Every structure is written in C-alpha cells, then in structure tokens.
C-alpha cells in the first residue's frame, strides 16, 4: 500500500504521541481517520488540528479502553456506523502504557492492567478489526511492540516484566500472522513496529491511569519529573517515528525498527544473544547506545 489517500485508518491511542502523529500525517495524505483513547479533551485537540490542516478529511474520536474487549468491539461498531463502512484499510494497534515492573514489588492490579492494555489491546484490536481489513481491496495491520519486545530489560536493577512480556507477545503474534494472512487474506499486509526511546507521554499516561502503583510523595515527584524528561530527551520525536512507520508500511516491511537506539540495540542482541542480560552484554549495550547519544539504562 503505497498510497493512503481515500482510505480509512483506525488508530488506538490516537490522542497523543505516535498515535496522534500517525493520524495527522495520514490525514495530510488524504486518509480518513478514526482514533480511540481515554482522554476526550486530548482527542478533541488532535481532531481540531486535523480539521484545521486537512479540512476534507473525516476524523472521528471514540472513548475506549483497549484493555477491555467489550470496549474495542463497541469502538469497531461506532467506526462502522459513523464512517458508514463495512471495511477499513489500515489498523494501527498503537495504544500502550507502562507499569507492573516486578512480580515481587508491583501490585497484581498494576501488572495485569499493563499486560491487558499492551498485549490485550493488540489481540482484541486485531480480532475486532480483522474482518473489516479483509473486506477491503487492500489492507495493512500495524502492531506496536518495542525494543523491549526483543530485549526484556531496562538494566540490571530495573524489573520490567509486565511491559516486556506483553511486547514480546505482540512481536510473536504479529510474526505468526504473516503466514496466517498469507494463507487466508493475502491482500492484507502486517507489520510489527519496534520503537526505541520516542518522545511520547507514556510515563505521564501510565501515572494518570494508575498502573505505576502506590508511591510515596517523594517518589511521585521524581516520577513526574522523569515523565517530562522522557519526552524531552528522546532521540526520536513522535512525528519522526510516525514518518518511519508509514514509510515502512509503504515498503511492506513486516519489521519496522524506529530510532537509532532501536537499530543499535537490535544489532547487539542479534550478535551476542546469550550475553545481553549479563555484565558483558550490558557493557556492549551501553557502548552501542553511547554511539547514538544516549544510554537505554538511563531511560
């Protein structure tokens, strides 16, 4: 699919970050857009921007919690009704949050909430919209994993279990869909997106939706500061990430690495897979990220 004009794209987590930028860039190319998120105000801002700069585009916003299959099915039904359609050409399962880092220290509720959104949102989103994709003359499914979908760590003393487990699941699920779609819907492509450190509000959003866990006042203040730094200090902006993703879809790439840090980490993990969680591997990873201008362990 090298032309997005006169198509319809569905984007989860479309209010901010990569989802917002995907919606803006697709609309600029003549693609109608349906976004879902939890914040009506943030979605309204995204929709207003699109209407101002892409006046002929139809943009609809939908409040939906992708951690709920029922909510995703309702989102799908609203898209069909409001866009008066029985098909969509593009589905971006993009929504995500962080949290549930440790099986020992994190609450069960925080762990399950993160996993249900990051993995469940992709699975249920695919289940819900796959029939609409197959109804289109051509379609493409894009699932957002992460560098933590092939390296389950943020460093030796920072547990990252729920998010990493979910992102590994997204990566494996998407790769398995390559053969499934080839057999049953060869006109539908599929891509797994693996971003590095992108300038988004994922930390802020995770705090807002209560998956970080109970924090002391001092810890909360530090995390709020980190949330701003996470977006400001990223090597790749959300807009640049969206451009990389859309270019990858045009090229029908099943595997889309986003950011120089993602490329660097991928190279190390492939070269020394047995060592990436030990001291020698961490030294290699730090050296690789030093060459890109940051260290993943400092995220």
Q: How high is the pLDDT of residue 132?
A: 98
Element housing 60 (H / E): strand 59-63
Q: Which of 129, 163, 168, 230 is catalytic?
A: 163
The answer to whether the beta carbons of residues 12 and 67 sit under 8 Å apart is no
**290 in a structural domain:** no
| pLDDT, tens digit (0-9, with 9 covering 90-100), for 85-143 | 999 999 999 999 988 999 999 999 999 999 999 999 999 999 999 999 999 999 999 99
The answer to whether the beta carbons of residues 12 and 19 sit under 8 Å apart is yes
**288 in a structural domain:** no
**46 in a structural domain:** yes
For the cut 70, the answer to whether the pLDDT of residue 168 exceeds it is yes
Beta partners for residue 60, in sequence order = 34
**97 in a structural domain:** yes
What's the half-sphere exposure (Cβ side, CA atoms, 13 Å) at 71?
A: 16
Exposed, middle or buried: residue 272 (CB in 10 Å: 0-12, 13-18, 19+)? middle
Across 219-227, average pLDDT:
45
On average, the pLDDT of the chain sits at: 88
**269 in a structural domain:** no
Across 41-59, average pLDDT:
96
- What's CA 289's distance to the chain center, in Å? 22
**176 in a structural domain:** yes
Residue, of 129 and 289, whose pLDDT is higher: 129
Q: How far apart are CA 122 and CA 206, in angstroms?
A: 17
**159 in a structural domain:** yes
Across 218-238, average pLDDT:
57
Q: How high is the pLDDT of residue 154?
A: 86
Structural domain that includes position 222: 8-258
Q: Domain count for the chain, please give it.
A: 1
| pLDDT, tens digit (0-9, with 9 covering 90-100), for 239-256 | 999 999 999 999 999 999
For the cut 60, the answer to whether the pLDDT of residue 271 exceeds it is yes
State yes or no: is 163 an active-site residue: yes
Q: How high is the pLDDT of residue 226?
A: 45
Confidence of residue 231 (pLDDT cuts 50, 70, 90): low
Confidence of residue 258 (pLDDT cuts 50, 70, 90): very high
Confidence of residue 223 (pLDDT cuts 50, 70, 90): very low
Alpha helices in 136-195 (DSSP H): 161-184
The answer to whether the beta carbons of residues 170 and 145 sit under 8 Å apart is yes
**Kindly report the CA angle at 267 between 298 and 242, in degrees rounded to 5?**
70
What's the half-sphere exposure (Cβ side, CA atoms, 13 Å) at 74?
A: 13
Q: How high is the pLDDT of residue 206?
A: 44
Provide, rounded to the nearest whole percent, the portion of the chain with pLDDT above 90: 77
Question: Between helices 108-115 and 161-184, what is the axis angle to 10°?
Answer: 30
**76 in a structural domain:** yes
| pLDDT, tens digit (0-9, with 9 covering 90-100), for 194-209 | 999 886 554 455 445 4
The enclosing domain of 112 has a CATH number of 3.40.50.720
């Amino acid at each position: 699919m090298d032309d997005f004009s006169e198509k319809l794209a569905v984007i989860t987590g479309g209010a901010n970050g990569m989802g917002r930028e995907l919606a803006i860039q697709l609309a600029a190319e003549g693609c109608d857009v349906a976004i879902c998120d939890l914040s009506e105000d943030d979605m309204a801002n995204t929709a207003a921007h699109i209407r101002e700069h892409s006046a002929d585009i139809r943009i609809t916003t939908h409040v939906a919690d992708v951690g709920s299959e029922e909510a995703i099915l309702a989102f799908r039904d609203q898209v069909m009704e409001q866009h008066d359609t029985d098909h969509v050409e593009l589905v971006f399962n993009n929504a995500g949050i962080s949290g549930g880092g440790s099986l020992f220290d994190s609450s069960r509720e925080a762990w399950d909430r993160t996993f249900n959104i990051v993995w469940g949102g992709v699975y249920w989103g695919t289940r819900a919209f796959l029939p609409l994709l197959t109804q289109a003359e051509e379609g493409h499914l894009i699932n957002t994993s992460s560098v933590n979908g092939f390296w389950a760590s943020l460093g030796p003393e920072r547990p990252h279990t729920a998010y990493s487990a979910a992102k590994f699941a997204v990566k494996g699920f998407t790769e398995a869909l390559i053969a499934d779609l080839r057999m049953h819907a060869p006109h539908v492509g599929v891509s797994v997106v693996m971003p590095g450190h992108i300038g988004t509000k994922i930390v802020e959003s995770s705090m807002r939706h209560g998956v970080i866990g109970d924090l002391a006042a001092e810890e909360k203040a530090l995390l709020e500061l980190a949330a701003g730094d996470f977006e400001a200090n990223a090597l790749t902006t959300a807009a640049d990430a969206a451009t990389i993703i859309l270019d990858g879809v045009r090229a029908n790439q099943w595997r889309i690495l986003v950011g120089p840090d993602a490329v660097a980490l991928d190279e190390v993990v492939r070269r020394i897979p047995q060592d990436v969680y030990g001291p020698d591997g961490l030294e290699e990873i730090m050296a690789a990220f030093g060459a890109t201008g940051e260290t993943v362990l400092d995220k």
